[in-house]
Homo-oligomer: A and B are copies of this chain.
C-alpha cells in the first residue's frame, strides 16, 4: 500500500515561486528579484535560484505578477478587425504584431464579421483581460461609448466620429472618385458599382466617391450594395452585365467585389472595364491586368500601432486623425474602352 507521500503539490499544478524558493533554500522575494532581473542579489544566490527554476520548470504567472504591480500593465494589446482571414486585415495584423513585438507586447485578436453583438462581446472580453490598448476596425462607434474607459484605443479604417480616439483613415471618397473618373475619361458613361454593407463607413465613402465622379449620369439601377463575399458580388455583377442596358465598366469597392467582378466579366461580360479598390496578389498577371486603387494595410497597421503605443506611453494630447493615401495603379483593366 503506497501512501503516495508528498504528492500534495507536485501532483499536477505548476510550480510556484514558493516551490522554487524552498528548492533553492531562499525566500520568495529573492526568487522574485532573480526572475525580474536579479538586481541586488548575490551572484551565487542568484545562480542557485536559477538552477531551481530550471530544475522545476518554473514559469512566472504573469497574471499574478500583474495584479500586484504598480500600474498593473498587462503588456497585451488587442486587435479587432472585420475578418482576420481576409488578406487585407491579415497584412494589417502582421504590421501591428511587429510593432507590438518591438515594444514587448503580445497581441490578442478577434473578428467582428461586422456583427455589433460580437464586437461588444469581444471588447468586453478584451477589457476584462485588461489589455493595455485596443486597435479596432469598428463596426460602429456605439459599442465604444465609454466602454473601454481606461484603455487606450485607436481606430483603423473607420473614423472616431466625435469619440476622443485616434484614427487612421484613407480618403476613400476621393480615391473612389478618382478611380471612377479614370473610367469616365476612358469613355465610360454606364459604370456598375459593387459595394459592401451600407452600414460600413468605407462602403458609404466609396459609393459617395462614385456618385461624385459619375455626376448627372448616376443611375441607381447600376448600383449593387450589401455584398459580403466574392460569390454574391459575382452574382450581382452577372445580373448587371446580363441586363437590358449593361454597364460598360465595373467599379468594385473592395477585394471581394473585385474578385466577383473579374469572374463575372470573364464569364459573361467580355471587354467590360474593371477598376477595383484594394489590391490582389498577381493582379498584374490577370488578363487584362487589374487597375486598382491600392491602400497599404501594412502602413495602416504600423501607423495605428505607433499611435497606440504613444498613448500607452503616456501621450495625452488631443486625439488625432491620420489620413493615408490610396494609389491609382494603372495596369490595363481600367483602360479598356466601351464597345
Residues of A within 8 A of B (CB): 12-14, 57, 59-64, 66-67, 74, 76, 83-87, 89-91, 93-95, 97, 106-111, 122, 124-130, 146-147, 149-150, 259, 262-263, 266, 280-282, 285-287, 298
A174 CB to nearest chain B CB (Å): 27
Partner of A85, one of B85, B91, B286: B91
Taking CB atoms, residues of chain B closer than 8 Å to A281 are 87, 259, 280-281
**Could you name 7 residue pairs across A and B whose Cβ atoms are closer than 8 Å?**
A12-B150, A59-B127, A61-B128, A63-B63, A85-B95, A107-B108, A266-B285
Q: Please state if B110 and A106 are interface contacts (CB–CB under 8 Å).
A: yes
A97-B110, A262-B282 provided; 14 other pairs, C-beta below 8 A?
A13-B150, A14-B149, A14-B150, A61-B67, A61-B128, A63-B67, A84-B90, A85-B94, A106-B126, A106-B129, A107-B110, A109-B109, A259-B282, A262-B285
Give the nearest-CB partner of A297 in chain B: B85
Supposing A76-B129, A130-B61 touch, asked if A94 and B107 sit within 8 A by C-beta, the answer is no
Taking CB atoms, residues of chain B closer than 8 Å to A280 are 281-282
Supposing A61-B130, A128-B59 touch, asked if A90 and B86 sit within 8 A by C-beta, the answer is yes
Supposing A97-B84, A106-B126, A108-B106 touch, asked if A146 and B285 sit within 8 A by C-beta, the answer is no
Taking CB atoms, residues of chain B closer than 8 Å to A90 are 84-87, 89-90, 93
Q: Please state if B109 and A97 are interface contacts (CB–CB under 8 Å).
A: yes
Tally of this chain's copies: 2
A63 CB to nearest chain B CB (Å): 4
Q: Is the interface of A mostly helix, strand, loop or mixed?
A: mixed
Residue among A67, A90, A128, A150 with max Cβ neighbours from chain B (10 Å):
A90
Give the nearest-CB partner of A129 in chain B: B62
Partner of A108, one of B93, B108, B147, B287: B108
Taking CB atoms, residues of chain B closer than 8 Å to A127 are 59
The docked-state distance in angstroms from the alpha carbon of A310 to that of B85 is 24
Partner of A93, one of B13, B59, B85, B147: B85
Q: Please state if B285 and A62 are interface contacts (CB–CB under 8 Å).
A: no
Partner of A59, one of B122, B124, B282: B124
Taking CB atoms, residues of chain B closer than 8 Å to A298 are 85
A313 CB to nearest chain B CB (Å): 16
Supposing A84-B94, A85-B93, A285-B266 touch, asked if A57 and B110 sit within 8 A by C-beta, the answer is no
